[in-house]
């Protein structure tokens, strides 16, 4: 497997994103006037954080089914000038994770997401690491993802390590956070911001967890969800982790 890193780093991403883009469209506001994107910009401005955003193609907003086709391209130049925002596919919607679909349907959904991202954010605004909904392990689509510039899929933060891959791959993910299977690289997800917030951990304890991960496996993967980012306690946890990264000179991937 290609080396994922030569020195410690952190990776921050947000799952289940859809509503913020519809809000951007319906409100007519500028991108960073939307609370979700405003918080991400605060992180980037303060700490140089890159953010991967994993998208649903469609969702129910105020009782009406909406799709990415409706997202305005009015902020395309803003996205193009802020390359630290990167988009990747997540799933059709909350109810239909990739693992429950045929490979042909998965590719169709992902193609639709990529097409809309290119339209409203530009062709250079896509992620090289992707987390699929419910940690779907679509290794059968390795060639497809490689063609899309995806180097790795993010695996579960659960102690299972993997839902579909063989035991030796599960053990590799649990031991080192990295594994390759059927031509696809997998990177373990480690920290879920809302779980840390739920545990009411002190800032000191959170920083200790981060330091432990930087010791082994040598990197931190931090995730949250769009609806959770709107909660102050979750934003506080994310800020604590990333502030600590700056203090110890660990860069955003």
As a whole number of angstroms, the distance between CA 249 and CA 61 comes to 40
Q: What is the mean pLDDT of the chain?
A: 97
Please report which confidence band the pLDDT of residue 32 belongs to, taking 50, 70 and 90 as the band edges.
very high
- Over residues 120-137, the pLDDT tens digits come to 999 999 999 999 999 999
pLDDT at res. 222: 98
Copy the structure tokens of residue 2: 């290609």
Task: Look at residue 2 and tell me whether its pLDDT is greater than 50.
Answer: no
Place of tokens 């993997």: 162
Cα distance between residue 158 and residue 151, in whole Å? 22
Domains, the chain, with CATH or none? 9-252 (3.20.20.370)
Pairing of strands 219-225, 9-17: parallel
Q: How far apart are CA 178 and CA 5, in angstroms?
A: 11
pTM exceeds cut of 0.85? yes
Q: Compute the average pLDDT of residues 228-241.
A: 98
CA 197 to mean position of chain CA atoms: 18
Residue 90 binned pLDDT confidence (cut-offs 50, 70, 90): very high
Tens digit of each residue's pLDDT (9 = 90 or more) over 37-59 = 999 999 999 999 999 999 999 99
Where does the pLDDT of residue 6 fall: very low under 50, low under 70, confident under 90, or very high at 90 and above? confident
Q: What DSSP assignment string belongs to 124-143?
A: T-B-SEE--GGG---GGGHH
Long-range contacts made by residues 239-244, C-beta under 8 angstroms, separation at least 24?
239/43, 240/203, 240/206, 240/207, 241/10, 241/191, 241/193, 241/196, 241/206, 241/207, 241/210, 242/10, 242/12, 242/43, 242/47, 242/49, 243/46, 243/47, 244/206, 244/207, 244/210
CA angle 192, 103, 188 (to 5 degrees): 25
What tens digit of pLDDT does each residue of 172-201 get? 999 999 999 999 999 999 999 999 999 999
> What average pLDDT does range 10-35 have in this prediction?
98
Integer distance in angstroms from the first to the last C-alpha of the chain?
18
pLDDT band at 118 (very low <50, low <70, confident <90, very high): very high
Token representation of residue 18:
């859809």
CA dihedral 114, 120, 124, 128 (to 10 degrees): -40
Task: List the structure tokens of 143.
Answer: 């060639």
Q: For the sheet containing 178-181, what is the strand order?
A: 129-130, 152-155, 184-188, 178-181
pLDDT, tens digit (0-9, with 9 covering 90-100), for 137-168: 999 999 999 999 999 999 999 999 999 999 99
């Amino acid at each position: 497997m290609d080396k994922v890193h030569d020195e410690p780093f952190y990776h921050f991403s947000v799952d289940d994103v859809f509503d913020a883009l519809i809000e951007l469209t319906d409100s007519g506001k500028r991108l960073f006037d939307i609370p979700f994107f405003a918080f991400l910009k605060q992180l980037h401005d303060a700490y140089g954080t890159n953010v991967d955003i994993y998208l649903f193609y469609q969702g129910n907003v105020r009782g009406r089914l909406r799709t990415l086709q409706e997202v305005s391209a009015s902020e395309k130049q803003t996205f193009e000038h802020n390359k630290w925002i990167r988009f990747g596919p997540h799933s059709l919607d909350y109810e239909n994770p990739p693992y429950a679909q045929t490979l042909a349907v998965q590719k169709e959904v992902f193609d639709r997401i990529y097409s809309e991202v290119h339209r409203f954010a530009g062709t250079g605004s896509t992620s090289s690491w992707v987390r699929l909904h419910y940690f779907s392990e679509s290794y059968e689509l390795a060639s497809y993802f490689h063609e899309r510039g995806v180097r790795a899929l993010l695996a579960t933060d659960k102690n299972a390590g993997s839902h579909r891959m063989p035991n030796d791959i599960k053990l590799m993910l649990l031991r080192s956070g990295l594994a390759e299977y059927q031509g696809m690289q997998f990177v373990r997800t480690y920290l879920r911001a809302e779980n840390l917030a739920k545990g009411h951990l002190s800032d000191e304890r959170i920083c200790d967890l981060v330091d432990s991960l930087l010791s082994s496996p040598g990197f931190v993967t931090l995730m949250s969800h769009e609806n959770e980012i709107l909660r102050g306690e979750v934003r506080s946890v994310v800020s604590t982790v990333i502030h600590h990264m700056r203090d110890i000179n660990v860069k955003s991937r």
